[in-house]
Amino acid sequence: MKKVVVGISGGVDSSVAAILLKKQGYDVIGLFMRNWDSSINNDYLGNPNIDHNICPQEEDYNDAVKVCEKIGIPLYRVDFVKEYWDYVFTYFLDELKKGRTPNPDLMCNKYIKFDMFAKEAIKLGADFIATGHYAKTKNGKLYKAIDTNKDQTYFLGQVSSKQLQNVLFPLGDLIKPEVRKIAREYDLITANKKDSTGICFIGERNFAKFLDNYLPNTSGDIVNIETNEVVGMHYGLMHYTIGQRRGLNIGGNNDKLFVVGKDLSKNILLVALGENNEYLYSDMAIIDNVNFISELKPSACHAKFRYRQKDNDVTVEYHDDYMIVKYPQKIKAVTPGQACVLYLNDECLGSGIIKEVYKNGEKITYL
């Protein structure tokens, strides 16, 4: 009997992944990862339904224990707090300092879930590892899940083909309502538990207050890039991303202003009127930190520049350590620090990190 170590998070997806693997005849072991010390900066969003005598991470672990007891599999626990800090959270902070918009989930998958976790699973005798990701894999290749709304290949684009060789994604052929139905059939405590949000493994917090513990919070002017008028004050450039409208707190007729850029040297947040203003659009990007999962390198394919974004037609020029991705139809809010993930039909070819953005042959300097 083949042994599978499943990453049990205390959520419904990993719970059902374990059930499905057990039904398929695998010897299933659960492994819970502790990647953040939740006693540090305990500033979770106020919620009367949360017992603040126990942090949400410990609640997740307790739920994981109950799930594994219910379905009859052992559960182990491993501590990756230092590794998460070194490989994920430090990267996250460094990118914010540069004025970019990082996605820590990509690095968490690359360095923690499909590296550190996999090594721990081998110690437990695993033939395979599995997670509750909505994705598919075969022979080290990565494919989109059936549930296009939940597909998570965008977050897996930095994982290597080698890392995917002995990985199972049991939820790849299911849609979310089916997953919850299975959980209810097994009367799992996670059946109706809401999906996790917030920073990977850190959870739902007052984000601004949380980041203030790590990065200096320097307020400055919000300036309309079209009129050069000061329209408000921001509370730290790290708290804003390209295309953002909500949370600017500038009121009046300015509620239709969108973030279009940042001037780090002057500590200015740049905005412009309307969600389709010209400052939000670009037609080319330079992509570094490139990771190819597939051996395919087509000159024409599709790309996502944000999670749940539609597939965009692009052309790609491949270089030794970077790519040039062109999209002459123009795309909104292509943002440095975010991922550019390439697809050919349902296959995820790989990804890179957006370094520079261009329009009409000129670098957009305010990004």
* 8 A C-beta contact, residue 316 and residue 354: no
- 272's enclosing H/E stretch is strand 268-273
* 8 A C-beta contact, residue 84 and residue 104: no
Burial class of residue 330 (count of CB atoms within 10 Å of its CB; 0-12, 13-18, 19+): middle
The residues near 24 (Cβ < 8 Å, ≥ 6 apart) are 170
- The vertex-207 CA angle with 353 and 61, nearest 5°, equals 90
* 8 A C-beta contact, residue 239 and residue 253: no
Q: How many residues does the chain have?
A: 367
Query: What does the DSSP 8-state code read for residue 205?
Result: B
Q: Which of 359, 346, 349 is nearest to 299 (CA)?
A: 349
Q: Is 10 left (phi over 0), alpha (psi -120 to 50) or beta?
A: left
Distance CA 181, CA 192 (A): 9
Which residue is catalytic, options 68, 200, 301, 348? 200
Which residue is catalytic, options 55, 68, 108, 340? 108
Question: What φ, ψ does residue 312 adopt, rounded to 5°?
Answer: -110, 135
Question: What φ, ψ does residue 109 adopt, rounded to 5°?
Answer: -65, -45
Query: What does the DSSP 8-state code read for residue 194?
Result: P
Q: Quick check: is 68 catalytic? A: no
Q: Quick check: is 200 catalytic? A: yes
Distance CA 288, CA 273 (A): 31
Just list the catalytic residues: 108, 200
